[in-house]
Amino acid sequence: MRMAAQFFLLALVTLTVGSAQEETDEPVMQGGVGRLDGKTAAERGAALVRYVATCTPKPNEEICPKAAAPAYAARLLLNVDTQYALEKLDAAVVASIAKSKRGALDPFDKVALVNTYFLAKDKIPRATALKIRDYAALYAHKVWKGYGAWNYRLMNDGAGFLAAEEWTDMVDADGLNAEQIRHATRERLLGYFDEITRKNYAEYGCPIYSAVNLSATRMLAEFAHDPDMRRRAALTLDAMLVDIACSWNQGYNVGSAARAKYWYSTDTSPDSMASTAAAAWIWFGAKRPIAASGTGWIHSFWMATTGSYRLPDLVVKIAQERSQPSEYRGFVAGMGKQDVHRMTYHSLNYSLCSQWDHASSHTDGLYKESRRNMLKWLSPKPSSTFAVCMENPYRPYALHENRANALGYGENPFSQYLQCEGTIIGAYAVPETYPYYKLYAPFTRKGAIVKRIEKAGWVFCHNGSMLMGFGSARPCAWGKKPWNDNDLLWCDTRKNGWVLETSELAPFAGGGVDAELERFATAVLTKTRFTFDPEAVRVTYRSLTARTLDLTWLPHKAPYSGQSKIDGQPVDYKSWPIHSSPWVYQAVTPPVLTLKHGKQVLRYDFAAWTREEGMEKR
């Protein structure tokens, strides 16, 4: 529901990013060897920087800036092993310049070197600094060419802009001088910021690449000389972190993702955060200390360093507000005709997410790396993740390759989902001519599932803090071998419907694990109703909370006309805003993002590029 409360704006917050006082809290190591924690963002960031300063790149990565520069930057920031760091940093720049002569230019290397320079410019010798300038000058900046992923754009143009501001004698591969480089990259960067803040963008929810985007944007918010660039970068960074705040639950990042490469980037937790969740953890914290080795520090490190950028406290409060169940809905307008709509349901001890999309063809690149449904629960054990997966091609737009994607990677283009609160149903109808069609569901063997039983075609699990049940309309069978410490449940049919039902433990608590799981299973089998019509490819399910979900599978070329229904009412996806939760709202137009928690109100206007903070007027 749109927030319509009137409020009185007490102050207009001036975002002069370079003027804030740095925090100097000492890092904290807690929770056992290799665990990081902290009471504040400054403590958590310092803990990660301290850890990265102890990391030594692999021998074959010592002169790869992408993989090694954070370890050198951390040492320089903390004044430890500085001679080693400076020698290796210089060697990495020299190696990168040499690689460029073989046609190898990598924006990951460019942004790592430029970011390291600005973080530690007072310690980096002039000779090394000029080599960093020369490496940045090897790139062309006049127009965008080649691979157009968001992370590449933000890294390449962001690093190019800052380098051209810093070194006024710079001339790039297009022959542009520093002023011309600044002009070309500035125009594109401001366009990226418009896209991100007004429409969301094509790398939403990514467990790895969102951290890359955050870091490149923060670099501009911290180091740009241009005050307008600093201000817009800071506000864009706020918006990106608001999006993650809406998916955050006490250290678990639970939202659908445009790009989730391989199972490890889906199976994240405080034991293996991956880069984006680790970057968000710095600001939002977690219920328990996180594993240092799982922080994806080659990308998350850049968000951990001290600086002038400050995320508003209200964003942190919203990320940490999980005292009552809540629901987030979002629309990724930047995905255009793919029509991507996201939902996350947060309960006290778990979160469940899904995505509705309707691309025009099964060959759409949307399906290559996306993760469109996922359950995570709070657990002292690793791998507290469940997702219903299906076989899919390595590249859906290149079926002639006859190559399957890796398990846990990508989505089948013929699968569709519908979510209501803590319940998801799915339907799929894969043509006989399409070679990838089997459903599979990984059930962790690492202890996050305390007990698992099977009844009447359902698999029921006691997960310690919550309960879940997975039901398939068509018969399933367990795979012969575990995969990545998971048992795989397979369904070998081209048309099917399924249900994932969840519950907090409290309604079924008492008498121990066996009794609790038995009560939950009995409730699902006696109080719910699950039907599947194979001719219409229609799934209906009446949930434990007495909500009726009704999903009819929709071919790619067919228009959506209410095939998804909740309690008999068609889901009006076209009405979904960019962001909507009890505390966050942004319509598709105008580009105004409003946050509210208690009496506090924060309003962003991304047309005027302002941020206003105040108290609600009663």
Q: For the chain, which residues make up each domain, given as ranges?
A: 17-320, 326-579
pLDDT band at 15 (very low <50, low <70, confident <90, very high): very low
Please check the confidence at residue 27 and state whether its pLDDT lies above 50: no
Contact of 159 with 168, CB cutoff 8 Å: no
Contact of 251 with 288, CB cutoff 8 Å: yes
DSSP 8-state code for residue 314: H
- What pLDDT score was predicted for residue 543? 98
Digit-coded pLDDT (tens) for 462-506: 999 999 999 999 999 999 999 999 999 999 999 999 999 999 999
Contact of 389 with 405, CB cutoff 8 Å: no
Please check the confidence at residue 25 and state whether its pLDDT lies above 50: no
Mean pLDDT of all residues in 389-417? 97
CA distance 49 to 363: 42
* Partners of 389 in the β-ladder: 440
**Coil/strand/helix, residue 574:** helix
CA distance 40 to 23: 10
**Coil/strand/helix, residue 467:** strand
Contacts of 275 (CB under 8 A, 6+ apart): 207, 208, 210, 211, 212, 295, 296, 297, 298, 299, 300
CA distance 587 to 464: 38
- What pLDDT score was predicted for residue 147? 86
CA distance 23 to 614: 24
Residue length of the chain: 618
Contact of 414 with 362, CB cutoff 8 Å: yes
Angle between helices 65-78 and 107-119 (to 10 degrees): 10
* CATH no. of 17-320: 1.50.10
Per the structure block, which two tokens stand in for 132? 């960093």
Q: What are phi and psi of 613, to 5 degrees?
A: -125, 140
Of the two residues 337 and 591, the one the predictor is more confident about is 591
* Partners of 538 in the β-ladder: 533, 552
CA distance 266 to 207: 7
- The alpha-helical segments, DSSP class H, found in 120-226 are 126-136, 150-166, 178-199, 209-223
* The amino acid at 26: E
Contact of 348 with 322, CB cutoff 8 Å: yes
Per residue in 327-359, is it b (16+ CB within 10 Å) or e — as a string? bbbbbbbbbeebbbbbbbbbbbbbbbbbbbbbb
Digit-coded pLDDT (tens) for 313-345: 999 999 999 999 999 999 999 898 899 999 999
CA distance 192 to 194: 5
pLDDT band at 16 (very low <50, low <70, confident <90, very high): very low
Mean pLDDT of all residues in 131-139? 98
pLDDT band at 23 (very low <50, low <70, confident <90, very high): very low
Peptide bond into 590 cis (omega under 30): yes
Closest CA to 386 of 443, 448, 449: 443
Please check the confidence at residue 30 and state whether its pLDDT lies above 80: no
CA distance 249 to 577: 22
pLDDT band at 618 (very low <50, low <70, confident <90, very high): low
CA distance 35 to 289: 6
- What pLDDT score was predicted for residue 26? 33
pLDDT band at 18 (very low <50, low <70, confident <90, very high): very low
Please check the confidence at residue 84 and state whether its pLDDT lies above 60: yes
- What pLDDT score was predicted for residue 103? 86
DSSP 8-state code for residue 102: T
DSSP letter for each residue of 396-452: TT-GGG--BPPTTSS--TTEEEEEETTEEEEEEE--TT-S---EEEEEE-SSSS-EE
Digit-coded pLDDT (tens) for 223-273: 999 999 999 999 999 999 999 999 999 999 999 999 999 999 999 999 999
Number of neighbouring beta carbons within 10 Å of residue 373: 21
User: First and final CA of the chain: distance in angstroms?
Assistant: 19
Looking at every residue in the chain, the average pLDDT score rounds to 93
Contact of 49 with 74, CB cutoff 8 Å: yes
Per the structure block, which two tokens stand in for 68? 């090694």
* The amino acid at 491: C
Question: Containing H/E element for 116?
Answer: helix 107-119
DSSP 8-state code for residue 123: T
User: How are strands ordered across the β-sheet holding 439-444?
Assistant: 389-390, 439-444, 486-491, 477-478
pLDDT band at 146 (very low <50, low <70, confident <90, very high): confident
pLDDT band at 436 (very low <50, low <70, confident <90, very high): very high
CA distance 154 to 229: 13
**Please, what is the Cα angle at 196 between 195 and 199, to 5 degrees?**
65
CA distance 43 to 51: 12
pLDDT band at 617 (very low <50, low <70, confident <90, very high): confident
Digit-coded pLDDT (tens) for 352-366: 999 999 999 999 999
- What pLDDT score was predicted for residue 5? 35
Please check the confidence at residue 564 and state whether its pLDDT lies above 50: yes
